A and B are shown apart, each in its own frame.
Chain A
Amino acid sequence: MPHITAISEFVPNADIIFREVGETFVLFDPNKDALHTLNTTAQFVWEHLASPPQTIIEKLQSTYQVSPEIAQHDVMRILEQFNTLGLIQNKSPQ
């Protein structure tokens, strides 16, 4: 499993389906038959996955007016979770 750093770049796993259901955003992993509900921050991170983590941190900080420490903590934790759950993969093959 790739290690997450602020300069890592990730892409969504190709099989993962991102949808809005009601007022909630979800990720569905058909291979594991798992439905993951996203909170606002997780949704933000997912929608900005095209950017490296450091950029996502800066965007989150400016969008939600949170401290750099909180933005960094939240983004890295969510990316770790996405990674652990197999929802994302490293952009460049190791």
Chain B
Amino acid sequence: MTFCQQFTIAESHYQVSTNSQHIAEHLQHLFAGFQTPPQSTPITFTIHQNPDQTIQVCPNLNETPPQATIDEFVSHFEWQLVRSAFDHMSFLGIHSGGVVYNGKTILFPGQSGKGKSTLTLGCALHGWGLLSDEMIFIRPNTTHAHAFPRVLCIKNNVELFQTLDTHHILQQPHIARQINNSICVSPQALTTIPQDHPCPIHLIIFPNFQPSHPQKLMSISPIESLTRLLQLTYKRTQSPQILDTLGHIVETVPSYELTMNNLPDAITEVQNLAN
């Protein structure tokens, strides 16, 4: 084996092994931000690269395509791990970015394309603590946020991020690499918040990237915020606990929508709000 790593996603422990150096490099990149698990039995995945350069995962990731290219595999495998983790843990997962600024936890919930990854990475390049650009875990009994420090992928506006990259993180080949037409940045290079560190939520900002609209910050009601969060929450069950957890969050945390047309101004707006 050229690669064998244990890591955790929230309460679930995983062990991934592969006999391919090529896959190992991608997986090390993908898992860089996750913590090593405590002593417990992990869920094990073994990955093989076939002679035709496609990838096979054994034995129990049923929904992973049996044959995939490395680019297809990395994004799909990550999502499958999250799905697998949800089956074993008590957290709620919200489709959201998240950062910590001056000790204050700020969530950027939103569907793909709304700007949450852009805003999150922009803040992270400014040195703010990184929870995730994609998924935030919420522990229902505390309503605290927990990190999901996955690899961050820049799909568009690479030049914009390069102007914010004062520490030249994006120029380091072992930190930022090209995958599937995106530049993927290892969370290791950023100020990541440990996944077991509970973060009380101070602010919820729904990003709304609209390049042709003026920047606008609008307060939204707890009910509107709740409606949006419910649509962005994974592992929906019929348990009233989900509504209670999200309901408590929107009652106690102010929510805003930020229509943004450029990243530096949006970061300044978030910073002013947090102050």
Query: Measuring CB to CB, which residues of chain A are less than 8 angstroms from any residue of chain B?
Result: 15, 17, 19, 21-22, 24, 26, 28, 30-31, 33, 35, 37
Contact = CB atoms under 8 A, between A and B. Distances in A.
Given A15-B238, A17-B243, A21-B251, A28 B223 contact: no
Interface residues of B, number: 17
A28 B242 CA distance: 10
Contacts of B242: 30
B222 A24 contact: yes
B219 interface: no
Given A19-B243, A21-B250, A22-B250, A28 B230 contact: yes
B178 interface: no
A22 B221 contact: yes
B247 interface: yes
Interface in B225-244: 226-227, 230-231, 236-238, 240, 242-244
Nearest to B223: A24
Given A17-B243, A22-B251, A30 B223 contact: no
B238 A30 contact: yes
Contacts of A15: 238
6 contacts: A17-B240, A28-B230, A33-B230, A33-B231, A35-B223, A35-B227
A85 B88 CA distance: 33
Contact of A22 (B222, B231, B236): B222
Given A22-B223, A31-B238, 17 more contacts: A15-B238, A17-B243, A19-B244, A19-B247, A21-B226, A21-B247, A21-B251, A22-B250, A22-B251, A24-B222, A24-B223, A26-B223, A26-B226, A30-B238, A30-B242, A33-B231, A35-B223
Main SS class of interface, B: helix
A15 B239 CA distance: 9
A37 B230 CA distance: 14
A17 B244 CA distance: 10
Given A21-B223, A22-B221, A22-B222, A30 B250 contact: no
B243 A28 contact: yes
Contact of B230 (A22, A31, A35): A35
A28 B184 CA distance: 38
A34 to B, nearest CB: 9
Give 3 closest A-B pairs by Cβ, nearest first. A22-B222, A21-B247, A30-B238
B167 to A, nearest CB: 42
Interface string B238-260: 10101110010011000000000
A17 B243 CA distance: 8
Nearest to A28: B243
Contacts of A33: 230-231, 236
A19 B231 CA distance: 17
Nearest to A22: B222
B236 A30 contact: yes
Nearest to B230: A35
Nearest to B227: A35
A87 B38 CA distance: 45
